[in-house]
Structures are given as C-alpha cells and as structure tokens.
Chain A
Amino acid sequence: MSDFNGEFWTVYISVITVASVLACTVLLWTLSTKRVTAGRTADVTGHVWDEDLEEYNNPLPRWWIWLFYLTIAFGVAYLVLYPGLGSFPGLLKWSSRGEYEAEQAKARETYQPLYARYAAMSIPDVARDSQAREMGQRLFLNYCAQCHASDARGGKGFPDLTDQDWLYGGDPETIVATITNGRKAMMPAWGKIVGDEGTRNLAHYVISLSGGAHDELRAAYGKELFAANCVACHGPEGKGNPVLGAANLTDKIWLYGGSSTALVETIGKGRNGVMPAWGEFLGPDKVHIVAAYVYGLSHPAGGQ
C-alpha cells in the first residue's frame, strides 16, 4: 500500500478531483443561457418518432440549475472538511480509524462498570453468576471455540475443558495464567533415541498404566525405558506434572488419542501443543470472565 502514499499520487488525485469540479461548474455556467434568433421558437433536437412526434429542446426550470450549483458547493465543502484530496486530512480531521477508536472508547465506557463489577469478584463467584456465564459463553464461542469446540470438549490435540483433568492445573489462578500468557507444550521426539521397537514397547507400557489392553512382554521392556527416559516429566508413576504441563498417563484421557498407533506417533515424533496468549488481546477483565466460564464448566456444582 505504501506505493500509493507518495507525493505524486496525492497531487494526481487532487488535480483530477479539482479539475472535475471546475469542469462541472464551467459546463453548467456556459449552458445556462442560449441564443435564440428573433421570431424563432425553441429548437428541435431533430429526434422524430412515430412519424410526427418531435422532441423540443425546452427550457428547464431555473431552480433546477440552482440545485446543480448547490450540489457543487456541497462537494467543495465536503472536500474541505473531509479527506478526499490525496493526503489532505480535511479540516475536521476525520478518519475511519479515529471513528473506530471513538466507538471503542464509547463501548468501553458503557461496559466497563459491568466488567469492573465482575473483576472485583472471585472466579468461583463469577462462575455462579448467570449473566457472567452468558457473557463468558459468548466470549468463549468467539475466541476459544475454534480449537476447543463450541461445547468446550476439545478434540484431537485440543484439551477438553469440561473434565477434571488439567495439564497445567485447574485452579482459578492457573486458568487465568494459561489464558493470559498461553502455553507451549513440548513432548520431545523419542523415536531416534529409543528406536522403533523401544517406541512400541513404551506405547504398550503407557497403555498398561491406565489399564488398557496391552502386550505384557512389550510393556515390561517399555517399563525400563520409561524409568530411564520419561519419569523426569511424567513422574515415576506416570501421573504427570502440572508445573511442566506433562500429561497424566494413568487416567484414560488422551490428548492425541490412546490407541497404540496414536501413542507410537506421539512418542516417536513428539508433540508440540500451542495455546496462544490472550492477555493482550482480551485484556484482564475479559480474561477474568472467560476464566470463570471455563472454571464453571468443570465445576457445575458451583453453578447451583
């Protein structure tokens, strides 16, 4: 776009605009009187229809031409007051950006008291407020549902927010922190380190942790590999670690699927989940309400 911000284009546009206005005025001026020879009636345009139907060049009423001049005056005034001549901003300094900001400021003024009231309440209290839940749902549907789905139950790679299983913890403060700053999950790829067989064995051991159908022998080999490589994050019992965002592997809840194929892929290639940071975009007040909505999803009793 910067190609069109140069001095040349400003002059180009201004010249065309001003010349057009002038041309209209001159045209109108020169056409407003005409010469009629003595004894003649009005001219005929030369158009004849249906044998004898002629068109006369009859005069228009005087007020009509004044209306034309009025529109020209309006156009000139408009160009002086509003942007229209290249980069000249107009005397009123109007801009669409300015209007947008003014509307935002007005909206902030209207809604700020409402947000302020909820901001002063604790998150569990906000979650119990039906109006706040409605506001929260609307915000959630706008900003969060693309990944976490409209019913907040997530999908492959996107956590279900309605259960009690939390990667980073589900207390109000942590939810606010997660929404505000986002999260970057990093499960390293182990395929090259433990090899294909090792990956498969690990997968069977992980399935065994939550009591799924597995190969005993592979699980036994996998257990050793797990102790050597995975406990640092997922803990000796595979219960995970919310500080690191390491998943609990014993609860049958799988972010990327719990089949052996899916687990082989997870372990072999690793996973990199990203939750974007919303703090700057939404601001603390909206984050507070969305957090309360999310908190309320897994604490339905809190809503009673």
Chain B
Amino acid sequence: MVKMQAHVKLTPVPAPEAMEQALYEVRKKIYPRAVHGAFAAWRWIFVLLTQLVFYGGPWLTWNARQAVLFDLAARKFYIFGLVFWPQDIVYLTVLLVICAYSLFLFTAVAGRLWCGYACPQTVYTEIFMWIERKVEGDRLARMKLDKQPLSARKFSLKGVKHGLWIALALWTGFTFVGFFTPIHTLGNEVLNLSTGPWESFWMLFYGFATYGNAGWMREQVCKYMCPYARFQSVMFDPDTLIITYDRERGEPRGTRARSADHKSKGLGDCVDCGICVQVCPTGIDIRNGLQYECIGCAACIDGCDQVMDKMGYPKGLIRYSTENALKNHLPTQGTLKRIFRPRVLIYSAILWAIIISTLVTLYRRVPLKVDVIRDRGNVMRDAEDADVQNVYRLQIMNTQEIERDMRISVSGLDGIEIEGVSRPIRVAPASSLMVPVRVEAPRASGNKGSNRILFTVEATDPAHPDSAPLKVEEKASFVIH
C-alpha cells in the first residue's frame, strides 16, 4: 500500500507561546495559478462534456415529451425511448453498482481520476475559477486585490464576479429541477414568478450549494467532507498510477541559472520554482509525496512540464508513475504492463459482466407487467355442470408510450377458461389497469386443493395489428375443493 505522508507537511505551525489555540483552524485561502497543458486540456474536455450533458439534457425532446425526465410525482422515469416504473428500481441499483465498480477500477489503475476530471466539485470549481480569473486576473493579481482596502474598483470586480457566479449557480439550480419538472413549463413559471414551493426551494437550494461549494468551499469539500479522500489509500496499491515527484531526479532542489550545469554543482532537476505548489487547487506540495488532499488533477504535472521545457530538461519530473516504478526504476513499458494485474483484471471482468448483462436485460425487457392477485374472500365457488370458479384481479401495466390491446388467456388445467372477458382490453399509454377475471374449470380437471395455472397476457399494438405481440406469463393458483 502506498503510504500517504500525512506527517510531513500537515503539522500546524508551532505556537510561539503557551496560549489558548483555536482548535478549529482558520482556512488559508488558496489562490491557484492558471495552468495550461495536456492534463488541463483533458479536464476542460471533461468539463465541457459533462456540462453539455447536464445543461443540454433537459432541453432534448423525444416522443413529444422531454427526452430525459424523472417524473417523481407520477413515479415514472423517462430516458429517451425507455420508461422506467417503480418496479424497475433494480436498474437504479445496477447503475449504482456499475458506478461503484468503475470507481474501484479507475482508482486501482490511475488513482483519483474521478476527482481530477469528472467530479462535479472539480468541474464547477474549474468553471468558477475560470470566471474568477477572467474578472480578477490570475494568482498574483487576485492576491494583490484581496490585500487592497475596499475601493470602487475592488467592489465592482468582486460584484461582477459574484454576480456571474450567482447567475451560473441559479441556472444550474434551474437546470437541475428541469430534470424533474418539464423544463419548458418550469421556464414559463420562472418568468411569471409562479414556481411551486418545492420547485423554488430546490432551485434555490441547488443554486446555493453550487455557489457555496464551487465559489467558497472548494478544496475544503475534498479535504474535510468527501469520504473518498479518506479511503483512497486502501484502493491504491504499489502499481497504481499516481501523481509523483521523482525525488531521485529532482533532489537536491535549488535555484540556478538556465545556462549553468547544475549537475556539476550537485543539484537535481528541481529548480524549486514553486509552480507545482502555486497551481495546486488543494494547496499541497506534491514534492512531499502522495497526500490524502491530492485529488489527482495533474495541474502540477502541467506546471512542472512547462518549467522543464523552459529549462531544456526532459519533462516528467512530476509525472504519472507508480510506487514500484520509482523504487525499481521500471521503464514506461514495464510500468504500463503492470496495469494488467489480477486486481485490475478481476475488477474489469466483473464490471463488464454487469454492464453486458444489464444491457442484455434492458434489451430483452418486456414493457408489459402483470400482477395476479387472487380474491381472498371467495377462494372458490361452484358453477353449473360441476365446474369450479376462481376469481382474480389482474393488474396490467402498459409501460410503453403507445396504446395496447390486451388479450388474457389461461392454461394449466384441461378445459380451463376465462369467463366474461371476450373483447381485448385497451390500456392507455404508460398506464395501468385493474381487471377482475373469472376463471372456470371442470372440477375433475385438477386435484383437490391448489393447482398451478398460468395466465398469459398478450399485448398488441392497435395501430399496427400485424406486429408481434408482447407476451407476459404469470403463475397463479386455482383452488378446487
């Protein structure tokens, strides 16, 4: 297991004299410096992709309704052509299992990929920091601005920044609620200031959370609130790719002229410029080794690579590497080969098995559900000619968005048949119907007591009578005495 060197830099500054020290540390504000490079580009690609899905998602239309809509009031989830009913809760479970396994797999392979590139906290912080930089300038300008006394310029800069943040946060809250309430209706309600109490609450709450988390809390969420930081160490192993500083190559660090031959002076490659610390969004020094605050964003890699380029040194003083690779001086090939180790292979195998079986069941899912409920009061009754009747209620759910004609039949005993339902029953799109059904069978066709029978419900599309019907079979018991 990789040891996180929590003891190196985390100790608070020693108190100068005996005093009542506040146990609760005042936050030291972090001013991350803008960084450009391959990993920053990757992060922006993920920011754009995830936000395209989030902000754009509710505006898509499908079947004359919102394409993605979680209609909690009607207890139906619409995702493009699929309509999920409460009975489909298993898919939500499976989705969570897939997410969890993906997290295990990605973490085992390359550490906190999720945190660094896709976590909403990272993504919104990235967007909010971008706005901050555009308004107030980069690290040094912001530090200078914060030290200044309040002036008209400072007031207006801060005002514009917070105005933009709040606007974006409110739009985020609006979009979030738009996944649960049709967003066009919601938009009209917002314009008329007539949103319902819950809609208003969640829009403001989600907006406030976005503003607070991405604007103010930032790295504190990762350091103090997120449980992932605390258990990442048990998900890492010596072959996990982590963001590391190559101590052997870098040390001893020190400033030097660009032209100087540092090796003859006994210096390593680290010029001690501190860029890696300045760009870090959680304010750590990666040269102290892996720490639990490191969210794996690779900003320090991008920063250091730029400096190495300027110095004319090879890149990669700070790079994605593994504990094993550093210790045993493995070549890149050897490091990458170790990705395919049993742990990763098992995670991948399980993950693929779950994903494939889920896709298969989703594809084979019959959008028709039938529940058979026996009448409890009257277990059975005599009919004419030595026949026996049992009564059932069939709860038929048409989970698709087209009208269906249902034909009910029954089998399992000689001469068993349904009485009184001659015409097919029409069920409206995406709705359910309770149908009382009377089943009759000759007394001699079964045993005394309970007999297994089978209800078959076949649903045809009245608009396309030739299309293959959907078919669901449900077991039930038929009582003879």
Contact = CB atoms under 8 A, between A and B. Distances in A.
B369 to A, nearest CB: 19
B378 A154 contact: yes
A117 B12 CA distance: 77
A150 B391 contact: yes
Contacts of A61: 24-27, 220, 224
B22 A153 contact: no
Contacts, number: 120
Interface string B412-438: 000000001000000000000010111
B11 A42 contact: yes
Contact of A38 (B18, B224, B377, B382): B18
A58 B24 contact: no
Given A35-B20, A54-B7, A62 B377 contact: no
Given A145-B375, A149-B391, A151-B391, A59 B10 contact: no
B258 interface: no
B7 A149 contact: no
A38 B16 contact: yes
Nearest to A34: B23
Contacts of B438: 151, 153
Contacts of B220: 61
Contact of A53 (B6, B22, B382, B389): B6
Given A33-B20, A41-B14, A56 B6 contact: yes
Given A35-B20, A36-B19, A64-B224, A146 B12 contact: no
A41 B27 CA distance: 18
Interface in A1-59: 31-42, 50, 52-56, 58-59
Interface in A236-254: none
Contacts of A139: none
Contacts of A277: none
Contact of B23 (A59, A63, A147, A153): A59
Interface string B1-37: 1011011001110111111111111110000000000
A150 B381 contact: no
A59 B22 contact: yes
Given A32-B24, A59-B22, A60-B224, A153 B14 contact: no
Contacts of A153: 381, 389, 391, 438
Given A61-B24, A151-B391, A38 B15 contact: yes
Contacts of A257: 382
Interface in B125-151: none
B211 interface: no
A184 interface: no
Contact of B377 (A37, A42, A56, A147): A147
Contacts of B420: 151
A65 interface: yes
A155 interface: yes
A138 B438 CA distance: 17
Contacts of B382: 156, 257
Interface of B: 1, 3-4, 6-7, 10-12, 14-27, 220, 224, 375-378, 380-382, 389, 391-393, 420, 434, 436-438
26 contacts: A32-B22, A33-B23, A34-B21, A34-B23, A35-B18, A36-B19, A38-B16, A41-B12, A50-B3, A56-B6, A59-B23, A59-B24, A60-B25, A61-B25, A62-B26, A64-B224, A141-B393, A141-B434, A147-B377, A149-B377, A150-B391, A150-B393, A151-B436, A151-B437, A153-B389, A156-B381
